[in-house]
């Protein structure tokens, strides 16, 4: 007789055992949490089962000083992310095979997907040109987001030089300085490629005084009607150019607070759910944060790609 199968190829007794374990963990977590204690009171469960009350801090906490500079827990998480990315790149590129397997296959699939995404948005030539910036931003943001979901990441605390208990690690995307730094990097590369591809003509998108100056000239030559019309439409052009310039800088703010807000809200959500009902209740929210981290990385890098494409193409199209 063939062995009975339950779910996902597992035997039925094993499936039942897993479900029972999850139910027991859920019940124990519910009773040990503040929601269960408010209903049933303290049933005498050991303290190690309970999750301490969360105390989220918006400013990153200083762990130690290096050459007089404060090193925060978010900077340490950033360093770890960089080490992981460099380490994975080294392991994959050390012994590359024509037919990829394992880690090389996974990394090549991700890189190829990002590369094709860049080419679809920006075209073949510009896609190749923009790919290093877009891929770096995407990989850094997504690895930083997923790293903070590892068990124990935000629960290891030490005593710093000032004698305060601080968390050793914190997701860098929840420290507003890191999203701001990424937004500034995106801003610099957008303007860099615009100037590189279009020269000083790129500035013409922001400085639109040609029509206004022409209207002044016509007014001086006695052409009152056409001169006033040129001044009117020239003033509109100057206003539009000013809005274009302002939008470039406002984009830095929107990029920063979009990433910071979503990542911080997700971290607080996980802390609160794990505190209210410890153990398995928070697992679906961990899955949700995996998706949110991927989506935010894709949005940040994708918008950078789109704006670089627009910076290179829009002014040229206006000139035709």
What is the per-residue pLDDT for 297? Answer: 95
Q: Could you give the 3-state DSSP secondary structure of residue 298?
A: helix
Rounded distance between C-alpha atoms, residue 263 and residue 180, angstroms: 13
What is the per-residue pLDDT for 319? Answer: 40
CB 256 within 8 A of CB 176: yes
Enumerate the β-bridge partners of residue 72.
62
pLDDT digit string, tens, across residues 110-128 = 999 999 999 999 999 999 9
Rounded distance between C-alpha atoms, residue 140 and residue 83, angstroms: 11
- What mean pLDDT comes out for the span 87-115? 86
Residue of 264, 307, 251, 320 whose CA lies nearest to 57: 264
* Those residues with Cβ within 8 angstroms of residue 123's Cβ, 6 or more apart along the chain or in another chain: 309
Q: Could you give the 3-state DSSP secondary structure of residue 199?
A: helix
Q: Which of 38-52, 113-127, 157-171, 253-267 has the lowest mean pLDDT?
A: 38-52
* pTM for this model (two decimals): 0.84
- What mean pLDDT comes out for the span 52-76? 85
Count of other CB atoms within 10 angstroms of residue 82: 13
At residue 72, φ and ψ (nearest 5 deg) are -90, 170
Strands 165-167, 62-66: pairing is: unpaired
Which helix H or strand E contains 186, and what residues bound it? helix 177-198
Residue of 21, 318, 63, 296 whose CA lies nearest to 183: 296
In the structure, what pLDDT confidence band is assigned to residue 314 with cuts at 50, 70 and 90?
low
Burial class for 95, CB neighbours closer than 10 Å (0-12, 13-18, 19+): exposed
CB 128 within 8 A of CB 287: no
What is the per-residue pLDDT for 30? Answer: 77
What is the per-residue pLDDT for 199? Answer: 84
* Those residues with Cβ within 8 angstroms of residue 59's Cβ, 6 or more apart along the chain or in another chain: 175
Residue of 32, 27, 45 whose CA lies nearest to 276: 32
């Amino acid at each position: 007789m063939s062995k009975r199968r339950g779910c996902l190829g597992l035997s039925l007794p094993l499936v039942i055992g897993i479900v029972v374990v999850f139910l027991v963990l859920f019940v124990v977590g519910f009773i040990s949490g503040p929601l269960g204690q408010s209903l049933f009171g303290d049933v005498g469960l050991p303290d190690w089962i309970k999750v301490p009350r969360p105390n989220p801090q918006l400013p990153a906490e200083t762990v130690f000083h290096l050459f007089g500079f404060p090193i925060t827990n978010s900077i340490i998480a950033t360093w770890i992310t960089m080490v992981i990315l460099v380490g994975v790149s080294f392991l994959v590129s050390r012994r590359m095979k024509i037919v990829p397997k394992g880690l090389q296959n996974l990394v090549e699939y991700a890189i190829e997907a990002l590369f094709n995404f860049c080419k679809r948005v920006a075209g073949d030539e510009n896609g190749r040109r923009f790919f290093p910036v877009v891929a770096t931003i995407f990989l850094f943001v997504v690895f930083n987001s997923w790293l903070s979901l590892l068990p124990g990441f935000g629960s290891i605390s030490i005593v710093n030089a000032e004698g305060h208990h601080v968390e050793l690690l914190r997701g860098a995307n929840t420290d507003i300085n890191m999203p701001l730094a990424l937004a500034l990097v995106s801003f610099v590369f957008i303007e860099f490629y615009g100037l590189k591809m279009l020269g000083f003509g790129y500035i013409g998108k922001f400085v639109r005084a040609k029509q206004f100056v022409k209207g002044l000239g016509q007014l001086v030559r006695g052409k009152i009607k056409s001169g006033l019309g040129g001044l009117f439409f020239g003033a509109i052009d100057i206003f539009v150019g000013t809005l274009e310039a302002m939008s470039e800088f406002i984009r830095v703010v929107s990029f920063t607070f979009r990433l910071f807000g979503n990542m911080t809200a997700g971290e607080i959500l996980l802390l609160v759910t794990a505190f209210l009902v410890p153990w398995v209740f928070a697992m679906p929210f961990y899955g949700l944060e995996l998706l949110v981290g991927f989506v935010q990385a894709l949005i940040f890098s994708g918008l950078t790609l789109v704006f670089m494409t627009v910076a290179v193409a829009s002014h040229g199209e206006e000139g035709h």
